[in-house]
Amino acid sequence: MNNPLLQEFNTKYTTAPFSKIKNHHFESAFIEGIKLAKVKIDLIVNNQEEPTFENILEALEFSGQKLDRISSVFFNINSAETNDEIQKIAQIVSPLLTAFSNDILLNKKLFQKVKFVFDKRKSISLNPEQQMLLEKKYKSFVRNGANLNDKDKEILREIDKNLARLSLQFGENILAETNAFELIITDKKQLKGLPEGSVEAAKMSAKEKGKQGCLFTLDYPSYIPFITYIDERKLREKMLKAFSAKGFQDNKNNNQKIVLEIVKLRYQRAKLLGYKNHAYFVLEERMAETPEKVNAFLNELMEKAKPAAKKDFKKVKVFAKKDCIGKIQKWDSDYYSEKLKKELFDLDEEQLKPYFKLENVIDGVFTIAGKLYDLKFEEIFDIDKYHKDVKTYKVTDNNDKFIAVFYADFFPRKGKRNGAWMTSYKDQWIQDKENSRPHISIVCNFTKPTKTKPSLLTFNEVTTLFHEFGHALHGMLANTTYPSLSGTHVYWDFVELPSQVFENWCYEKDALDLFAKHYKTGKIIPSDMVQKIKDSSNFLEGMATLRQLSFGLLDMGWHAGKSPETIKNVKDFELKAFADTQLFPDIAENCMSTAFSHIFQGGYSSGYYSYKWAEVLDADAFETFKKNGIFDKETATKFKENILSKGGTEKPMELYKKFRGKEPNVDALLKRAGLLK
C-alpha cells in the first residue's frame, strides 16, 4: 500500500503531508510503525557488545521515530479534527500502542541492559542531559513493572490496556455531549443583554445548519457570552445545567462508570507497583514529590483564599439582591459578577473586545516574542494543513536561522474538542550533529468572524492565547539532544511556568500598546482602560482561587485516598471533596467529575494542583522582569537559556534557581492576587 505516513515526509521542513493522509492510512501505518520499532528494539536487545550509554540508551531513545510521527499526527487530529471513523481507529490503535509500550518496558533482557548502564553511572563520564536520560529511562522501566514477576506483568498489561480504552471513551463521550446540545432562540426579547457580536455569531451558526433564529451551543465562544450576559434567568439556568451535565445524563454518553473504573484501575496499578495509591506514584516524578506536600500547598492557599472568597461571594449576593432574585445560584454567578465589575470599575468585556481583534493579538504575541527572544514569524502558504482554518508560520531568529514550524487553529467546529491547548507534531532533537527543529501547534476555540465584524477576543481569550503561546515558545525554543527531554517534556508541575508567565505581558501598558488597537479606528487602547484592566485583575480573586483549589482537591480526592473500591456514587464522592470550597448551592443533575477531562482524559491526574503551583513560579519569575523591565534582554535571555531551551534536561528547581537565583516564594502569588495582607 502507498501509505504517506510510512514514507519519508519529503515536504518543506518535513511537515506532515495532511492532504495525502486519509483515514484508512492510519491503522495500517500504526501496525507497520510498531513492526519497524520492534525490529530496532530487537537489535538493541540482541546486541552482543557490553551495554553502554550509546548502544542502549541513545539507541532506545531514537528507536521509534517513525511511530512517534504517526502517533503525533493521528492523536492531534483526533483532538482537533475528529470524526466517527477517526474515533473508531483510536479505539483500535490505542490498545496496540499500550501493548507495544509494555512489550518494551516489561522486556527482561532490555531492562537488564539498561540497569547494567544505570548501575555503572558513577564510573562513566556523562553530561547532565545524558545523566537525566539514563535516570528517566531506568525509572520508566521500574515504574512500569520491570521488577514484577511474570504473572503481575500480565495483570499490569491488562490494566494499561483498559485504562487506554476508558480514557479514550471518556473523551469521546464528552465531545458527543457537547455536539448534541443545541439551543435555538427565535424570540428577540429572549436575547436581551447579549452583545450584538454574540447575536450575530449565533445567527450565523443557525444559518450554517439551515435553521431559523439564533443557535447556541456548549462551545466556549457560544456558552461563555450566553451565561455572562443573557438577562433571562431561566435561559441561563438551562444553559448552565446543560453544560454541567456532560457525561452525567441517562444516555449512552454517561461517564460515571468510566470514572469509577479509571480510579479503581489506577489504584490497582499503583498498588501492584508498590505505591500506596496513584497520587504517590505520579508525584514521585513531580516537583511536589508527595500527596502530603500537595495537600499542604492547597490548604495553605485555601487558608488565605477562603475568607476572601466568602467576602467576594457576599458582594455578588448583595449586588444580585437588587434584582430580587431570591437565592443566588451558579447560573447567576458570571452574570452578576460581570455587572458588578462594570459598576465598580466602569469596565466590561464588550468595551475591551474592539481593541482585541484576533489578527492584532497574534501580531502582538509575535512582536513580544521577537523583543524578548529574537524570533520572527512569517505566515507561509506552501505547507499542508489539516483544516482550512489553520494558519501556518515559519519561525526564524534575527539571523534568519530556521527555528520552528508553527500551526495555529483558532475557531470551534464540530470535530474539535473544547478548550485550548498546545501540542507538537514533531519534537526537537539533535542527531548526527543535525539540530532537527520542532513543529508546534496551538489549538483554541475563539469567536469566529462574522459578516460585519472580525474575530474580537474577550480579555480572557487574550490571556488564553498568550498562555498557549507561552507553551509554544517552550516547544519552539527547545535545544536539547534527546526528544524525550525536549520542549514541554518536563515535570507536569513545571510545564505551566512558561505559559503562565507569558500571560503577565497582557496586563502591561508597554506590551498592550504594541497590539491593542481599535479594529475600526486603529487607536491604541487608552491608558485609563489599561489601568482598569489592572485594577480589576484581582476582582473576585478569592472566588476564582477557591474554585481552582476545589478542582485540585477533587483530583487529589479521587487519587490520593484509600481504595476507591468503596466509592459507589460519583456525585456523592464529589460533594464530599467540594465540602470545604462550596459557595453556591449544589445542582442535583450536574456533576464535575464526569466531564473533568484534565484528569480522566488528559495527563493531569494527581496533577491539577500544578496550575496553582506554577502560578507561584510565574508570579515569582515575573517579579524579575518587572524589576529589570518587561523587555529587558538580559532577563529574557536568562529565562530562555535556563528554562525555555532546556526542556527536561535537569531537575526543574535547579533550572529555576539558575534563572532566579533562589527558590520561588508563595508570597509572590499571594501579593499579586491581593490575598496577602
- Catalytic residue positions, numbered: 468
Length of the chain: 677
Distance CA 371, CA 411 (A): 28
Pairing of strands 429-431, 421-426: unpaired
Grid cell at residue 65: 521515530
Distance CA 566, CA 267 (A): 12
CB 383 within 8 A of CB 15: yes
CB 500 within 8 A of CB 620: no
CB 673 within 8 A of CB 620: no
CB 496 within 8 A of CB 610: yes
State residue 546 phi and psi, 5-degree precision.
-60, -35
Residues in CB range of 130: below 8 A, 6 or more apart: 53, 57
| Secondary structure of residue 414 in the 3-state scheme | coil
Q: What is the DSSP letter of 323?
A: T
Taking only Cα atoms into account, the Rg of the chain, rounded to an integer number of angstroms, comes to 25
Q: Which amino acid is residue 122, in one-letter code?
A: K
Region at 346 (left for phi over 0; alpha for psi -120 to 50; beta for the rest):
left
Distance CA 320, CA 309 (A): 16
Grid cell at residue 509: 501598558
Residues in CB range of 329: below 8 A, 6 or more apart: 237, 584, 585, 587
Q: Which residue has the cell 531537575?
A: 651
Residues in CB range of 619: below 8 A, 6 or more apart: 668, 669, 671, 672
What DSSP element (H or E) covers 16? none
CB 595 within 8 A of CB 174: yes
| Secondary structure of residue 660 in the 3-state scheme | helix
Grid cell at residue 473: 515558545
